[in-house]
Amino acid sequence: MNPHPYVRGYMAGIVVPTLFLLVVMSAYFVLRFILQVPVPIERVIVFPMAGVPNLWGLWNMLYVRRRQGGHPSIGVHGALLPLVLAPLAFLVATGLGLAARSQGAFVYLEVIHANYGLVAIVIGVGIAIYYLAWKYFVNFFNELLGVA
């Protein structure tokens, strides 16, 4: 008997991004308040802080649901998440007026220019990182909470 498998799946899913967020927040404080980088990072940090860990949790709940019907690869399942997250993050940034498209590139905060080639690299690297993170770390926490 395994009570509340979806709650366990959610909890196992949010651990990795929550821990990693500590690193991101530390880097943010160093860049913004110690090195005085003149980019208002705090305006865009809402999405990684609030959205990403919850989406990892929900994505892992979906994995727990998929496992009941077979044996999907957790690495591949996790590697699909950037394809959801990246457009969502861009939509949020565009909605808040923090990002826009102009002449073959995405512009963030009017100072960071990312051309389509760079975007492709970001997506490729993101998929690779997510594949490994889900295969080893999320799977570890799933095993720990009995939903692997």
Partner 1 sequence: MNHPEDDQNDVRELRELLKKSVPRVHAELRRDLWPEMLQRLDSRTTRVPWFDWALAAAAAALLLLFPQAIPALLYHL
Residue number with CB closer to partner 1 (16 or 61): 16
Residues that bind partner 1 (CB under 8 A): 24, 27, 44, 47-48, 52, 82, 85-86, 89-90, 93, 108, 112, 114, 118-119, 121-122, 124-126, 128-132, 135-136
* φ/ψ (deg, to 5) at 97: 75, 20
| Nearest distance from C-beta of residue 108 to partner 1, angstroms | 7
Question: In angstroms, what is the minimal distance from the CB of 30 to partner 1?
Answer: 13
Output the smallest distance, CB 129 to partner 1, in A: 6
- What gap in Å lies between CA 113 and CA 118, rounded to an integer? 9
In the numeric block, the tokens 């994995």 are attached to: 63
Nearer to partner 1, 19 or 121 (CB): 121
φ/ψ of residue 2, rounded to 5? -135, 90
Q: Is the separation of the CB atoms in 116 and 38 below 8 Å?
A: no
- Residue 102 per-residue DSSP state: -
